[in-house]
Amino acid sequence: MKARTFRLSESDIELLEEVAAARECSNTEVVRFAIHLAADEIHGEIRDEVHESGSAIDALVAQLAVKDEQIAKLQDLIEHEQLLRAQTVVPELPDAEKQPKQSWWRRWLS
C-alpha cells in the first residue's frame, strides 16, 4: 500500500473521526469505504430504487414495510384456517367398549 497525504478542514477531520468511532474502525477504513461507495455510484452499481428513495436505508425500510404486510396477511389466513378447523364437526366413531358385548350365541342368531 502507498501512503498519501491529504489536506482536510477541521470540520472534515471531526466528521471522519466521528464516523470512525461510530463504526469502530480506523480513519483509513472510513476513507476506503467512502471511496468505494463513490466509485460504485459512478459506475452505476447502486440500484435505481436506492437513488429514487434517497438512500439505501429508505429502500430497506420500504421493503420491510412490504414484508410486514405480507406477514400480517399470512397470520390472518392461518387464524382463519384454525377457526375453520375448530368449527368443523367430526362425527365420533362408535366405540367398541360402549356397545354391549354379545355372546357368540346371540351373534349367531342375529
User: Is 105 part of any domain?
Assistant: no
The answer to whether residues 42 and 58 belong to one domain is no
Domain range enclosing 80: 48-87
User: Is 22 part of any domain?
Assistant: yes
Domain count of the fold of the chain: 2
Predicted confidence (pLDDT) per residue in 67-101, tens digit: 989 998 999 889 888 888 877 766 666 665 556 66
Predicted confidence (pLDDT) per residue in 26-58, tens digit: 999 999 999 988 888 887 755 554 455 467 777
User: Is 53 part of any domain?
Assistant: yes
The answer to whether residues 56 and 28 belong to one domain is no
How far, in Å, CA of 44 to CA of 40, rounded?
6
User: Is 103 part of any domain?
Assistant: no
User: Which one is predicted more confidently, 106 or 49?
Assistant: 106
Output the CA–CA distances (angstroms, integers) from residue 42 to 16, 20, 28, 30, 100, in the order listed.
22, 24, 21, 18, 88
User: Is 25 part of any domain?
Assistant: yes
Reported as a pLDDT band with limits 50, 70 and 90, residue 7 is very high
User: Is 71 part of any domain?
Assistant: yes
Please indicate, yes or no, whether the overall pTM of this predicted structure exceeds 0.75.
Answer: no
User: Is 100 part of any domain?
Assistant: no
User: Is 34 part of any domain?
Assistant: yes
